[in-house]
């Protein structure tokens, strides 16, 4: 019989959990709040939490001074493009590994995972050199390719774990009914695979958006996404807390929202199916 939980215990849990949650979330909350302050209020002593003159001025200044929209657009192209291309390449691979497994499938999967473990800094110069030779340095195309490749193993893995949960019997039934490979994929598999593909797109978009090694090292001005744009605030001039906060808030807001939708897939995607 399940033990009844006393309301008192539940209250204690609730209070404790909310305090811990708010402490962890506080830096984000503080950044969002500061983005609506004036620069003077942002550094006032003692700090003001809620009772200040709310202003949208910083958001305007950030866009005006740094052409924020261009960085945002670069981020969207790089994260979106790399994820989309990655999924297009990974779907057939994951499909065949899940439904037509061979003796080597496991080895191939593990080998793909091992490419993800390669430390980026170990191959920094070769990639840098290739980028110069191929004219890809500071281009969105170059970053789409690199970010796609570093996330491809995760994309294949996630899709594989989702596809493996699709019952094979249904596919066999479709085959018995004389469905061709194409029909099998289009009418039987696709509807069942869409949720998994959507989760994969979502999580990998987030990972690509936050990628901060290659985006920092392979871009200068033209193709720099938000990660690099924010890094340019590391050498500040004058008062800038409120503007930094506004720029940061704009850079993380879309991903925070997407992230909340993807929290369940996060575990599966990042542990390669080892924890579900």
Question: Which residues within the stretch 60-79 sit at the binding site for another protein (CB under 8 A)?
Answer: none
Nearer to another protein by Cβ, of 76 and 130: the residue is 130
Q: Is 40 in the site for another protein (CB under 8 A)?
A: no
Binding mask 177-216 for another protein (x = CB under 8 A): ----x------------------------x--xx-xx--x
# residues contacting another protein (CB under 8 A): 98
Q: Are 109 and 158 in contact (CB under 8 A)?
A: no
Q: Are 144 and 82 in contact (CB under 8 A)?
A: yes
Q: Are 51 and 63 in contact (CB under 8 A)?
A: no
Among 56, 69, 129, 173, binds another protein (CB under 8 A): 129
Nearer to another protein by Cβ, of 114 and 190: the residue is 114
Q: Are 145 and 198 in contact (CB under 8 A)?
A: no
Among 140, 162, 255, 269, binds another protein (CB under 8 A): 255
Among 61, 166, 192, 270, binds another protein (CB under 8 A): 270
Nearer to another protein by Cβ, of 166 and 212: the residue is 212
Q: What is the C-alpha to C-alpha distance for residues 196 and 162, in angstroms, rounded to an integer?
A: 6
Cβ of residue 57: shortest distance to another protein, in angstroms? 18
Among 78, 152, 154, 223, binds another protein (CB under 8 A): 152
What distance lies between CA 44 and its chain's CA centroid? 35
Closest CA to 151 of 219, 198, 208, 214: 208
Which range binds another protein by CB under 8 A, 60-68, 95-103, 133-141, 188-196?
Answer: 95-103
Q: Is 49 in the site for another protein (CB under 8 A)?
A: no
Which range binds another protein by CB under 8 A, 57-65, 113-121, 135-143, 187-195?
Answer: 113-121
Q: Are 130 and 237 in contact (CB under 8 A)?
A: no
Among 50, 103, 122, 237, binds another protein (CB under 8 A): 122
* Long-range contact set of residues 125-128: C-beta below 8 Å, sequence gap at least 24: 127/214, 127/218, 128/217, 128/218
Q: What share of the chain is helix, strand, coil (3-state, %, to 5)?
A: 75, 0, 25
Among 31, 38, 139, 141, binds another protein (CB under 8 A): 31
Q: What is the C-alpha to C-alpha distance for residues 183 and 241, in angstroms, rounded to an integer?
A: 57
Among 52, 73, 77, 273, binds another protein (CB under 8 A): 273
User: What residues contact residue 29 under an 8 Å CB cut-off, 6+ apart?
Assistant: 22
Which range binds another protein by CB under 8 A, 50-58, 60-68, 133-141, 255-263?
Answer: 255-263
Q: What is the C-alpha to C-alpha distance for residues 27 and 34, in angstroms, rounded to an integer?
A: 10
Which range binds another protein by CB under 8 A, 4-12, 50-58, 60-68, 134-142?
Answer: 4-12
Q: What is the C-alpha to C-alpha distance for residues 115 and 146, in angstroms, rounded to an integer?
A: 13
Q: Is 87 in the site for another protein (CB under 8 A)?
A: no
């Amino acid at each position: 019989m399940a033990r009844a939980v006393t309301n008192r215990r539940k209250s204690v849990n609730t209070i404790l959990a909310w305090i811990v949650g708010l402490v962890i979330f506080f830096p984000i909350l503080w950044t969002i709040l500061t983005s609506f302050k004036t620069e003077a209020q942002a550094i006032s002593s003692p700090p003001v939490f809620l009772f200040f003159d709310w202003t949208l001025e910083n958001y305007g200044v950030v866009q005006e001074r740094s052409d924020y929209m261009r960085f945002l657009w670069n981020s969207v192209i790089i994260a979106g493009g790399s994820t989309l291309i990655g999924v297009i390449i990974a779907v057939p691979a994951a499909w065949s590994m899940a439904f037509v497994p061979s003796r080597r499938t496991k080895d191939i999967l593990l080998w793909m995972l091992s490419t993800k473990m390669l430390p980026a800094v170990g191959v920094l110069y070769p990639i840098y050199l290739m980028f110069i030779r191929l004219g890809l340095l500071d281009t969105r195309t170059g970053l789409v390719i690199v970010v796609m490749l570093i996330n491809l193993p995760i994309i294949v893995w996630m899709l594989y774990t989702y596809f493996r949960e699709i019952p094979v019997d249904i596919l066999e039934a479709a085959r018995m009914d004389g469905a061709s490979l194409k029909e099998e994929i289009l009418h039987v598999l696709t509807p069942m695979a869409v949720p998994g593909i959507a989760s994969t797109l979502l999580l990998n978009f987030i990972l690509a958006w936050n990628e901060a090694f290659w985006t920092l090292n392979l871009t200068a001005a033209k193709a720099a996404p938000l990660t690099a744009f924010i890094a340019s605030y590391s050498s500040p001039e004058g008062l800038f807390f409120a503007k930094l906060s506004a720029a940061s808030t704009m850079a993380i807001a879309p991903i925070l929202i997407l992230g909340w939708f993807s929290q369940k897939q996060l575990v599966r995607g990042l542990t390669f199916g080892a924890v579900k």
